[in-house]
Amino acid sequence: MTGQPVDGVAANAFPAARSEARLLVPALMFIALVVAAVASLGTPLITSVATSFHVSLGSAQWTLTVALLSGAVATPVLGRLGAGPHRRAAILATLAVVVAGSALTVLPLPFAWLLAGRAAQGVGLGLTALMMGVARDHLPEERSAAVIALISVVSIIGAGVGYPLAALLAEFGGVRAAYGLGLVVTAAALLTAWRSMPEAPEGRSAHVDVAGAVVLAAALLLVLFLAGERDLWSRHLAVAAGLAVVAVVLLCVWAVIELRSTTPLVDVRAVRHPAVAGANLAMLVGGIGMYLLLTLITRYAQTPHDAGYGFGLTTFVAGLVLIPFSVLGFVAGKLTPRVRTRIADPLLLAGSAVVVGGGFALFAAARSNLAELFAGMGVLGFGVGGFSAAMPGVILAVTPKSETSSAMSFNYVVRSVGYSLGSAVGGLILAAGTGPGHLFPDDGAYTTAALVGMGAMATTTLTSLALARRRPSETNP
């Protein structure tokens, strides 16, 4: 009698299960893509926000900074919640917060409410690590590795998807229309998660270390604030240096709290594993270089001809320059799981860092026409895609399955800090290359920044090669 239908129930159970399994992978991809794209909406809209709300460009810049900050703070907290029994509830609640924030950005409210909405949207960045945890728990091992790699990639290329769409909507419908895109896609993501996210496996527990979360939030606030406030470094160096010292002290205090806690926000002991520590170092330095080149190319493309270089592209057309970044990043993400059966993940990290370094070299030597900028952006996308796809494999090879979300969330915090520092480094170099009374830096400043980026990617390559020399003594299930 086994397998015989009883009132049609058994006959329908297996197709339903297969249907849910088929829905899971695209749902994970879609949610990771949406939260990344929505968080990046602040980038192309800064000028429009300043004009529409009658605020300075510096104030408008906070529509991007506050999303990155809230994402960096929320990521380790959500990573810990994702390791516990209430992961599905945490995912749905987080997406509900993102939808509410998206509504605030659309409603005709004052600027302060827009910042609050952007902060709520940034919380969604913490979901990427949870998507990886779901994939590792509910998919076969071979398939989960490929899916996790693609989740990592789409979390990067989301900016390339959201940037031109938001710029186009802002050009024709205003800033509220552009943010309306975020409301539509986040509502769709919430519905998708409600339909497809499974419950976490039984037998897990996870308590949030509140003290550790507060101290880490304060430290990250200072780090990202210092990375974004370039004028503070140039005009009040002593104050900036003092705040930097405070940030380092807070990070040290946080590490002590985590080591002493029985339920740490992040397992610092696991982070100290040579493979994990090396991967996070590579992520930090590599993130600086990757975001630096992204910033250089987009800013160069928008510089008006009057500066003696540049192409004077509108925000929308400049966003199209990101298309090669997204397309080749996705291609690299699809290829990496096949290549990693023959080449170790650390070597893939090193090779991808070399590719990004090649993008810097191309930009430094050839940027006289748009085709060269498109080529440079494509090379960057391919390198970033490969790097992002290989990174989870390095960390998860020595991480227990139950700690997937927590381990990857820490890596994404490191990535956020690296990206913020990359933006700051680019701004400082270009500011130093701007002559008195000039609005735009000299063309040579871009070459200098490219050389600095090549140095960052060389360091990333050496760090990755050092990882490749170490063979993990144990691979956790």
Contact at 8 Å (CB) between 314 and 164? Answer: no
**Count of CA atoms in the C-beta half-sphere (13 A) of 14:** 5
Tens of pLDDT, residues 19-56: 455 689 999 999 999 988 888 776 667 777 888 898 87
Integer Cα distance of 43 and 121 in angstroms: 14
- DSSP labels, 282-336: HHHHHHHHHHHHHHHHHHHHHS-GGGTS-----HHHHHHTTHHHHHHHHHHHHHH
Integer Cα distance of 159 and 346 in angstroms: 25
Contact at 8 Å (CB) between 355 and 331? Answer: no
| DSSP three-state, residue 1 | coil
User: How would residue 203 be classed by pLDDT, with cut points 50, 70 and 90?
Assistant: low
Contact at 8 Å (CB) between 287 and 419? Answer: yes
User: How would residue 293 be classed by pLDDT, with cut points 50, 70 and 90?
Assistant: very high
Tens of pLDDT, residues 412-445: 888 888 887 887 788 888 888 888 878 788 999 9
Q: How many helices (H) and strands (E) does the chain have?
A: 19, 0
Is pLDDT of 396 > 80?
Answer: yes
From 95, 105, 94, 33, select the one nearest 64 (Cα to Cα).
105
Tens of pLDDT, residues 93-117: 999 999 999 999 999 999 999 999 9
Q: Calculate the dihedral angle through the C-alpha atoms of 468, 473, 476, 477, rounding to the nearest 10 degrees.
A: 100
Say which range, 309-323, 370-384, 457-471, has the weakest mean pLDDT: 309-323
- Which token pair is 442? 């000299």
Contact at 8 Å (CB) between 467 and 285? Answer: no
Handedness of CA 313, 319, 325, 327 (dihedral sign): negative
**Mean pLDDT computed over 246-267:** 85
Write down the mean pLDDT value for the chain: 84
User: How would residue 474 be classed by pLDDT, with cut points 50, 70 and 90?
Assistant: very low
